[in-house]
Amino acid sequence: MTQKTCPVPQNLKFVFTIVKRDVGEAVAAFYRSHAISYNFISPGYGAAGLEIRDYLGFSETEKDIVISVCTEEELAKVLPAVVEEFDLEKPDSGILFSIPVAGISGPRALLYVTGYEEEVQENSNDGEKKESGDE
């Protein structure tokens, strides 16, 4: 059986937020509170800054990379709030950028990353509810 990729709404974005280690959890929580439910945190290392600090061992290089999926409209709303909340205007506090999504593995994945997985779960739970009703 051949499986086709799902067409993606034109405005879907992958948002990368790179912050200091252990701040990633707070960033993900902040996105969740703004209805962006798919957040993926990966550990990484920063390589910016003055080289002399690297030699002296002063630079805190451990980072959290938060990958989130949202629409362009959602990002436009949340971006100023994220910049303010996590002081991204200050040097060394973190960066944020977004990449347009061109394709996704299927409708279920699309629903999952865009935060509508609850609807899918409700449908799949229908059978279980009927069973429990029989008892």
Partner 1 sequence: MNKDREYDLIVTIVNRGNADIVIEASKKAGAQGGTVFYGRGTGINEVETFFGISIQPEKEVVFTLIKHDLTKSVIHAIIEKAGLSTPGKGIAFALPVDDVAGITHLTTPCSVEGR
Which residues here bind partner 1, judged by CB under 8 A?
13, 15-16, 18, 42-49, 63, 65, 72, 75-76, 79-80, 82-83, 88-91, 93-100
Contacts 24+ apart (CB under 8 A), 89-92: 92/49
Contacts of 90 (CB under 8 A, 6+ apart): none
Q: From the CB of 7, what's the least distance to partner 1, in Å?
A: 16
Q: From the CB of 91, what's the least distance to partner 1, in Å?
A: 5
* Closer residue to partner 1, CB minimum distance, 8 or 117: 8
Are 14 and 52 in contact by the 8 Å Cβ rule? The answer is no
First to last CA, the chain: 39
Q: From the CB of 41, what's the least distance to partner 1, in Å?
A: 11
Vertex 15 angle, CA 7 and 35, to 5°: 85
* Closer residue to partner 1, CB minimum distance, 44 or 115: 44
* Closer residue to partner 1, CB minimum distance, 13 or 114: 13
* Closer residue to partner 1, CB minimum distance, 94 or 114: 94
H-helix or E-strand spanning residue 79: helix 72-85
